[in-house]
Chain A
């Protein structure tokens, strides 16, 4: 049981390049989330998904797109990377019982630098 995994772990992009971050979970969770974490800003929600084929915007969605074609995978895309997108990106997943105890489990993170 690997939990939540993310690929890649590190990436350096030039401004204007595109890339896709992959998140996979093997816990059969309904909900999946993408966050970014910046110094002094805490974790901020980018997009989330409540099930296969369904996505929604979070607090800071601009410049990102997501897809959830399979229940276990959640992809985060940057179409035209900007230096402001330099950050650590975390994926998380949780059950969707509707109870307050739906704990989110986090992946190890992807450190992205945009030059």
Chain B
């Protein structure tokens, strides 16, 4: 099975940097994904990590340590529009050729002026 933990809520100030952590305990691993979900909208893909290390994409970066079962999403130069829920998801290895995502419960980030 999969167990994914992330903080329920975080607050930060516009212009600051925030790090959202995700820890996972899984029976298999084939990648870790981060999604952003604004209130009342669909999740949208932000980043993924397969190998250990940091992946950078503009203001967003994601880090993975497979040995520690740990990932974080780093958001720099925070903007008001970054207020959203951030979902961590682990991809299981293919089972009979199929591979699905298991999502954490999400971290609600509130950015204040």
Give residues in A with beta carbon < 8 Å to B.
Answer: 33, 40-45, 48, 50, 56, 58-59, 90, 98, 100-109
State the Cβ distance, A113 to closest chain B Cβ, in Å. Answer: 15
A100 touches B91 (CB 8 A): yes
- B31 to chain A: which residues have CB within 8 Å? 100-101
Nearest A residue to B2 via CB reads A59
- B44 to chain A: which residues have CB within 8 Å? 106
A44 to B50, CA, bound (A): 22
Query: Which residue of B30, B41, B43 has the most chain A CB atoms within 10 A of its CB atom?
Result: B43
* A-B contacts, CB under 8 A, total: 51
B100 touches A42 (CB 8 A): no
Nearest A residue to B101 via CB reads A104
Binds A, one of B12-20, B74-82, B103-111: B103-111
Nearest B residue to A6 via CB reads B42
If A42-B87, A100-B48, A100-B91 touch, whether A106 touches B103 (CB-CB below 8 Å) is no
Is B113's CB within 8 Å of the partner chain A? no
What is the predominant secondary structure among interface residues of chain B facing chain A?
loop
Is B94's CB within 8 Å of the partner chain A? yes
B43 touches A90 (CB 8 A): yes
A108 touches B104 (CB 8 A): no
A106 touches B42 (CB 8 A): yes
Q: Which residues of B in the span 40-74 have a Cβ within 8 Å of any Cβ on A?
A: 41-45, 48, 50
B97 touches A105 (CB 8 A): no
A42 touches B103 (CB 8 A): yes
- B24 to chain A: which residues have CB within 8 Å? none
B99 touches A42 (CB 8 A): no
A106 to B35, CA, bound (A): 10
State the Cβ distance, A87 to closest chain B Cβ, in Å. Answer: 14
If A100-B31, A100-B50, A103-B48 touch, whether A42 touches B104 (CB-CB below 8 Å) is yes
A105 touches B105 (CB 8 A): no
Nearest A residue to B105 via CB reads A42
Of B50, B99, B100, B106, the contact of A98 (CB 8 Å cutoff)? B99
State the Cβ distance, B33 to closest chain A Cβ, in Å. Answer: 7
